[in-house]
Structure 1
Amino acid sequence: MVAQQYATDYTLPEMLVACAAREIQNGDVVFAGVGTPTLGALVAKLTNAPEAIIAMESGSIGCQPYRVILGIGDNACVENAICTTSLWRLFSDQQRGFFDVGMVGGAQVDKFGNLNSTAIFGSGDYYRPKSRLPGSGGANDIGASAKRTIITMPLDKRRFVEKVDYITTPGHLDGGDARKRAGLPGDGPAAIITDKCIFRFDPVTKEAYLDSVHPGVSVEEVKAMVAWDLKVAENVKTTEPPTVEQVRLTRILDAHKIYTGSGLKNLTFENYVKMLEESYELLHQLF
């Protein structure tokens, strides 16, 4: 076996993508959301899981895009796809147990892996929130039905809360066998991948615990960014760095740093068209 060559010049968002990619096993059928989940799934497809099948909300199954995907309705979602079907059919198949992995994110996550992408209440409530967010889309269905879910989001104390303001995507609800009692068919979150560490879930209590910290990050730094009394593994690991190949692929897939940097802030219509033209050539080399 050829030894992995690890990158030394990676960024933390690129580390997040690499860690997400490693959660996908060869042959998995993956329901991937737009953004970091899609990047992670595509990097996995091009490295450790070449037989993985990536599905997207609009009905695309097995896409290998030539252009950067910014939304589920983009033409790029169907490029090189095995097939395209309807949104309702895709979700129907998911509810029947055909999806191994769901990759999701949100604005808030709590210690049981419940996600909120609906509203931040602040001092208000659902009808008068501090912030109104995009909402569920397919996130509720993914969290309820996928055999396992992988959560990807930056580590931030405002995001990692004791209890989410609103459960958009069910995690392990209030722990233990709560999912089973609620009648949810999927097994719930398996990991929370962040830009500084990886959380996993206790098999009995279903509460998140710190499993590994990324190189250069301390346990204390992670605990300071979490709003609950975080459990820590007895032997906390150091996360395996991204490989040179994983970083190279991430930079091709997201050459303008839309998801691994601040590229979205500078995206005008003219820049968008230019980005699509450039990414077509870059991604054509991969697929």
Structure 2
Amino acid sequence: MDSPGPQADTQALVDRCARRPSKLCPYSAPHRKAIHMASEYSERELMVVCAARQIRDHELVFVGMRLPLLAFALAKRTNAPNCIGLFECGIVRDTPAPELLYTMGDAPNITGALWTTDMVNVLGSLAAGDVQLGFIGGAEIDRYGNLNTSLIGDWQQPRVRLPGSGGGADIASLAHRLAIIMPHERHRLRERVDFVTSPGYGYPDAEGPAGSAWRRRVGLPRGGPTALITTLGLFAFNPDNGEALLQSYHPGTSIEEVQEQTGWPLRLAPDCRETPPPSPEELRIIRECDPQGIWTR
């Protein structure tokens, strides 16, 4: 199959993927009989399920690292069989990798890839508006979905220097939707982050409120956070004012515990409820794809 060039039409890419035979998690087959489906599940397995449920069929998805690798594999076998995964290092896949990935640049991620190119071409799909959903994480986040992966403390004399943006700022700025995955700790979920590395919905200012209007004011053409998936719950965002709304709290926790570990006063979604647990089928797929629990322990 000819590799599409940098200016390839997205629909042509989607159509080409639809004609390929699906080979989902082939490396998992030897483990199927050995998997014991316990009723318990880890908080990370629940986070993978929440992340997979964010992916819609036929979408181009910036997959990212760690838990999103499993979320992509799970979505391909459940709710989004025709989604396509993009990796910042220049890889495009319509099937999960044939072996468990530790980094997006691992050799198995190249095997059977739809397209192996460079970072410029993959990130160019963001600029073109072709990417519907992106996954990223962060060290700090505030109520408006602004993420910090740069530093802790004062800009001039930071207490801690963090890795920086990588592709996070690009994904947060240009994907149509943004899903954020991170541990839920009070020092991470803050009233205001020390530095905005990847923009969410900004802050209220003299020109208007936070939210989609702020993104338009600063020249961001689309997008914004739509989900924050943590170890305690799932947040949605109100694009009108940019604020996070607790959509569900995970089994075994409570709204009070979520508030205790959140650095701003919680706002609840009208239908706030307990997060639905993983189904037996979802757990089976996750444990086939990561039988040793490298990412989910």
Query: What TM-score, normalized to structure 2?
Result: 0.81
Partner of 2:227: 191
Aligned residues: 253
1:107 paired residue number: 139
Q: Does 1:45 align with 2:81?
A: no
Give the counterpart letter for 2:133 in structure 1.
Answer: V
**CA distance in 2: counterparts of 1:240 and 1:104, whole angstroms:** 23
Across the aligned residues of Structure 1 and Structure 2, the Cα RMSD in angstroms comes to: 1.6
> Where in structure 2 are there 5+ consecutive unaligned residues?
1-36, 204-209
Question: Superposed, which structure 2 residues align to 1:90-105 within 5 Å?
Answer: 90-105=122-137
The residue aligned with 1:118 is 150
In 2, Cα distance between equivalents of 1:185 and 1:7: 46
Q: Deviation per CA, 1:80-115, whole angstroms, max 9, x where unpaired?
A: 211111101111111110101001111111100111
Q: In the alignment, which residue of structure 2 is the partner of 1:145? A: 174
> What SS does the aligned partner of 2:61 have?
strand
Whether 1:130 and 2:159 are equivalent positions in the alignment is yes
Aligned-pair distance for 1:7?
7.2
Matches within 5 A, 1:151-166: 151-166=180-195
The CA deviation string for residues 201-246 of structure 1, in whole angstroms up to 9 with x for no partner, is 1231110011111222211010111001111123312211111121
Match of 1:234 in 2: 270
Which of 57, 60, 80 is matched with 1:29 structurally?
60
- Aligned amino acid, residue 86 of structure 1: D
| 1:56-67 correspondence runs (5 A) | 56-62=87-93, 64-67=96-99
Q: Percent identity of the aligned residues? A: 39
- TM-score w.r.t. the length of structure 1 is 0.84
Question: Matched residues in 1 for 2:222 and 2:291: separation?
Answer: 35
For structure 1, which runs of at least 5 residues remain unmatched after alignment? 1-5, 262-287
Q: Is the CA contact (8 Å cut-off) linking 2:132 and 2:177 kept in structure 1? A: yes
> Aligned partner of 2:111: which letter?
E
Cα distance change on mapping 1:211 and 1:7 into 2, 3 Å: farther
Q: Corresponding residue for 1:257?
A: 293
Contact 1:7–1:242 at 8 Å: present in 2 too?
no
Write out per-residue CA displacement over residues 141-192 of structure 1, whole angstroms, 9 at most, x where no aligned residue.
0000000011111211111011111111111111231111111123110010
SS of the residue corresponding to residue 130 of structure 1 reads strand
> In the aligned structure 2, how far is the partner of 1:247 from the partner of 1:186?
34
- Report if aligned partners of 2:72, 2:96 keep a CA contact under 8 Å in 1: no
Q: Aligned residue for 2:41?
A: 10
CA deviation after TM superposition for structure 1 residue 127, in Å: 4.2
What corresponds to 1:71 in structure 2?
Answer: 103
Runs of 4 or more off by more than 4 Å in structure 1?
Answer: none
Q: In the alignment, residue 180 of structure 1 is paired with which amino acid?
A: R
- Give the C-alpha shift of residue 258 in structure 1: 2.7
Counterpart amino acid of 1:18? V
Q: More displaced, 183-192 or 226-235?
A: 226-235
